[in-house]
Amino acid sequence: MKESRGVSQRSKFVLVLATAAILAGCGGAGYGGGGGGGGVTIPVAPTGLAATGGNAQVSLMWTASAGATSYYVKRATVSGGPYTQIATVGATNYLDSVVTNGTAYFYVVTAYNSAGESANSAQASATPAVPAPDVTVTVDPTKTRAISPYIYGVNSYSGISGAPAMLTLDRAGGNRWTAYNRETNASNAGNDFHFQNDSYLSASSTPAEAVLSFIAADQAANLASIMTVQMQGLVSADESGPVNMTNPPISDAADFRPVVDKKNAAFTLTPPPATTDNNVYMDEFIWAVDQKFMGMGIFGTSTTHPVFINLDNEPELWNSTHKEIQGPTAVTLDNYISKTIALSKALKDQFPNATILGPVHYGFEGIYSWQGELAATPNGTNWFPDKYLPAIKSASTAYGKPLVDVYDFHWYPEDYDAGGTRVTSMSGTTLTDAQVQLIVQSPRNLWDPTYSDNASAGNSNPWVYNTLGAPIQMLPRLQTKIDAENPGMKLSITEYEAGGWNHIAGTVAQADMLGIFGNEGLFAACLWPPSGSYPYTLGGFRAFRGFDGGNAVFGDTSLQATSSNVGNVVVYASSDSHIAGRVVFVAINRSTTTHVTAINGVPLTGTAHLYQMTETSAQTQVAANGPVMPVSAGTMAASGSSITVSLPALSVTTIDVQ
């Protein structure tokens, strides 16, 4: 049956979506007539029809009619009809849940058997009730922040089965790219795969084909791209398999070739053999990529789908992930900063408007102490960014333009259950309540000054929290340092995971991450796809992109929203610069009970369209081999500056008002 919903004329828009207990039915109907040569007679109209209005539902009960085999339930929004048949039931009770709180409904019931249909029963009416909210979210529409279109990104888009439509960014990054040789397409994944030189990224003999085909596919899919340029110093010379790790680093030209930032000679699309010139040039690399897409300005600021540049990958771990070329000694902070400045200058000499992202940290210890090189203190100015940011600022001032545009890092939550399992390894379809809460609460480490992921929150190894002795708040901490030491630089997270890949907890956490990215003003973000299946995580993207099954998206301007109980409910609010008056909310309930939530403070007008993901709806979709995605929860007229939503346990609800 196609759903239809009434319209509230209340001065304030009130919307409640909830599921209440269904009232128990009365006794079954009996049969009249028949037998002994007698015929079946039309049953008399039912009597005793009663209607009781609950939260987002009306419960109907009536007395059985002799001889009835079924009953037709009919509804109107005007007393006396006309009535529309909404159900056929075999019992003497019916729960109408396709209703709007605050609207009066009028019902009649008829009895039916093979001889025909009775007259209408007497009319009964009810108005669904509006429960009092237990959570209040206050929106301040004067406190806004532009939402970057590039926060809805992934790594390796082409390899993701069932990738959501309308993603915006794709990254070619990870350990495999540090030793990538653009001239031959050879690469080495280091410790990730036997320190082996091979053709994993591309077996093509066309220079840079691994990158060119990646960008071409992104352009065809309407995605911006992040490519990786090599900064460590050596790249694979061939594709001949595992290298000799007896005494790394390996400088043998038969295995590896040197990287040079700037080529002081003419560029070419067909590099000479290594016997003629053994170097691999980075400025020639991006020039060659641009040549493939001539006229598109992919490294500019006005192209539709730009290409951004990562300065290598996780450099503080080169001595372990890429011991074959780095050796056992880590790159020092000063050496790394010098490498950054030299390579960035070479790239900007060719493309002054290119967007460069660095340092591409692997995680907290790289940010905090450069993997132990610095004697960092929680509230001191002796973190890695406190050395890096002013150095880049000084070099940029001397150069005449920013050398590194975006401070980039990776984020994998350090939250563990009692058995030592990290949230990023919680991939089962069944999780304990404690595991669910670790997953859905962990995104708060990125921003929330009230959240401590210590033992009281169930984290058996809260080493990051213990290091700082306070809430982690990674994004505000970094933003404060940027504002003080290199204002204007942006933030990005080009690898992250949140766990719960096959559970509604993963949907909740992923949606929360995307909301945080927009709220905190990130420039870009890319999910790192976990191994195995992860349909619930991909569902989190659909709360913001294509939530109507079509082209509807979250707004492009974040509105500050404050929850009275952020541990249970968070709401992300947005407006749309392209459609006047349009407001979109993503409301998240991370608790295991329903919460009635009032969202106040932003003017609303028009119609609210609701889309929702719950544990039940997601399980049904996965069982049918479909994607996890929002399902329509109806529409309602919107007016005033308040909306009340009943959020089911562990759910994500998108509300599009326009």
Choosing from 314, 324, 414, 497, which is the catalytic residue?
314
Q: Which two tokens stand for residue 596?
A: 């009635």
Compute the distance between CA of residue 222 and CA of residue 157 in angstroms, rounded to an integer: 12
Active site residue 314: yes
How many CB atoms sit inside 10 A of residue 420's CB? 9
Compute the distance between CA of residue 272 and CA of residue 61 in angstroms, rounded to an integer: 86
| Among candidate residues 251, 284, 294, 77, the one with its CA nearest the CA of residue 183 | 284
To the nearest 10°, report the CA torsion of 296, 297, 299, 303. Answer: -80
Cα angle 449, 521, 605 (rounded to 5 degrees) comes to: 95
Q: Which two tokens stand for residue 22?
A: 């269904």
> Greatest CA span in the chain, whole angstroms?
109
Q: How far is CA 646 from CA 119, 195, 612, in A?
A: 38, 54, 11
- What lies within 8 Å, CB to CB, of 460 at 6+ separation is 416, 417, 418, 419, 420
Radius of gyration of the chain, Cα coordinates, nearest whole angstrom: 30
Compute the distance between CA of residue 650 and CA of residue 609 in angstroms, rounded to an integer: 20
The residue type at 234:
L
- Concatenating the DSSP letter of every residue in 416-463 gives B-TT--BGGG---S---HHHHHHHHHGGGGGT-TT---SGGGT-S--H
Cα angle 219, 224, 228 (rounded to 5 degrees) comes to: 105
Write b or e for each residue in 81-118: b if 16 or more Cβ atoms lie within 10 A of its Cβ, otherwise e: eebeebbeeeebbbbbbbbbbbbbbbbbbbbbbebebb
Q: Which two tokens stand for residue 633?
A: 């929860």
Compute the distance between CA of residue 588 and CA of residue 509 in angstroms, rounded to an integer: 9
Q: Which two tokens stand for residue 256?
A: 């590896």
| Among candidate residues 116, 132, 178, 98, the one with its CA nearest the CA of residue 14 | 132
Tokens 């995307």 appear where?
Answer: 514
What is the distance in angstroms between the CA of the first residue and the CA of the last residue of the chain? 26
Q: How far is CA 457 from CA 462, 497, 599, 609, in A?
A: 9, 19, 27, 35
Cα angle 76, 79, 82 (rounded to 5 degrees) comes to: 45
Tokens 């691994």 appear where?
Answer: 210
Strands of the sheet with 642-647, listed across from one edge: 631-638, 606-613, 651-657, 583-589, 569-575, 557-563, 135-146, 595-600, 642-647
| Among candidate residues 125, 266, 242, 257, the one with its CA nearest the CA of residue 192 | 242
Residues with a catalytic annotation lie at 314
